[in-house]
Structure 1
Amino acid sequence: MSLATLQDAKPTVQLVEAESAPGGHQLVNPYRTNKVDKMDLVAMAEEIQKADSFVHANVSNKLQVIAEQVRFLQEQARKVLKEAKDNADLHHVACNMVKKPGSLYHLYCRPSGQRYFSMLSPEEWGASCPHEYLGTYRLEADRSWTPADKLEEKTIDQQMINKILTCSNTLSITMNEKQ
């Protein structure tokens, strides 16, 4: 049932069908038990209308949470795709050495527009730096690139992950010993 169907549904009151002799035996006086007070019908209709309103509000709240999750996941996907594009771009930069994870590489641009990696930092070049300095990156073990301004944050994150993995392994070993 769609949300629109829930909204458009007219509240109706349905009573249980009266059966004067269930199973062939008359148990009570049907005249007294099947009396319907108009005020009872109004109260029942109000209860149904309240229930419909609560169902609608509940569905709306749940759909709102899902919409927020979708927006969050879309933003995460954008970040992942941008990071992948940036990493691929840096892997295609000219380089005359074998790149090793954990090492720092300094990105420069020649007047011709060619970008290249060097092991020499701008400080090591000094005033004789022949080309425009674009940034410093560390090649990670997973072959991703971390800009110099995010190295400390990345190192802290990696330490936290290692700590979690160490605790997780210890917990796993402890649990296996108890079994």
Structure 2
Amino acid sequence: MALNRLQDAPQAQVNLVETDSTPGGVQLVNPYRTNKVDCMDLVELAQEIQKADKFVHANVSNKLQVIAEQVRFLQDQARRVLEEAKENADLHHVPCNLVKKPGTIYHLYRRSSGQRYLSLLSPQEWGSTCPHEFLGSYRLEHDHSWTPEHKMEARSNDQQMINKILTCSNTLSITMGDK
């Protein structure tokens, strides 16, 4: 009776290999004995398929979770890049009565009229006679981006590390090219 129910079940869940009474051209002695199916074997096979489906689903879910985290990370990076681009553009459009040179630190001030301007004079150099509101100090980098004062040391350290990596990779490529 249980065998009949399994035979009537849809084939989408359990598929058996079709039988061949002459595998590889050799006649089997008794095809019934070699292709005999126990109903418990079919149940175990169905349980294995269900277990495999659960593992596949869990595996795919885990991989999609990693991708979702990467997407959030990339979105956050894109947001930061856009914010930095806006800040850089804003600083480049601030009035300045001198030619800006990379590597130089500029100080941002605001006049009582609201106009902002860049100066080479720091608040310490102005002393107590500083006539305007100090907004911050920025270094113009060689790529024409601006680094705020509180990030200058970290940016310099990063650049030193990058230069070391580039120096090592150039040495390696020259050494490997000579062989």
- TM-score between the two structures when normalised by the length of structure 1: 0.89
Q: Percent identity between the aligned chains?
A: 76
Counterpart residue type for residue 170 of structure 1? T
Shift in Å at residue 27 of structure 1? 2.2
Contact 1:13 1:44 in 2 (8 A): yes
CA contact (8 A) 1:11 1:45 kept: no
Alignment partners' CA distance in 1, 2:84 and 2:58? 39
Q: Unaligned regions of 5+ residues in structure 2, if any? A: 1-10
| Amino acid paired to 1:152 | E
The answer (yes or no) to whether the contact 1:106–1:135 under 8 Å persists in 2 is yes
Task: Please give the residue correspondences for 1:18-167 in structure 2 after superposition, counting only pairs within 5 Å.
Answer: 18-21=19-22, 26-167=27-168
**What CA distance in whole angstroms lies between the structure 1 residues aligned with 2:21 and 2:169?**
68
Alpha-carbon RMSD across the aligned residues, in angstroms, is: 1.6
Q: Distance in 2 between matches of 1:102 and 1:92?
A: 18
Q: CA deviation at 1:23?
A: 7.2
Runs of 5+ in structure 1 lacking a partner? 1-9
Paired residue type of 2:57: H
* SS of residue in 1 equivalent to 2:134: strand
| Structure 1 equivalent of residue 8 of structure 2 | none
Which residue identity is paired with 1:95? C
Q: How many residues align?
A: 169
Equivalent pair of 1:107/1:134 in contact (CA under 8 Å): yes
> Per the alignment, in what secondary structure is the counterpart of residue 136 of structure 1?
strand
- Return the alpha-carbon distance in structure 1 between the equivalents of residues 110 and 24 of structure 2: 94
Runs of 4+ in 1 over 6 A off after TM superposition: none
Aligned equivalents of 1:65, 1:23: Cα separation in 2? 47
Q: How far apart are the structure 2 equivalents of 1:79 and 1:73?
A: 10
- Residue 176 (structure 1) aligns with: 177
Give the Cα separation in 1 of the matches to 2:123 and 2:25: 101
8 Å CA contact 1:11, 1:49 repeated in 2: no
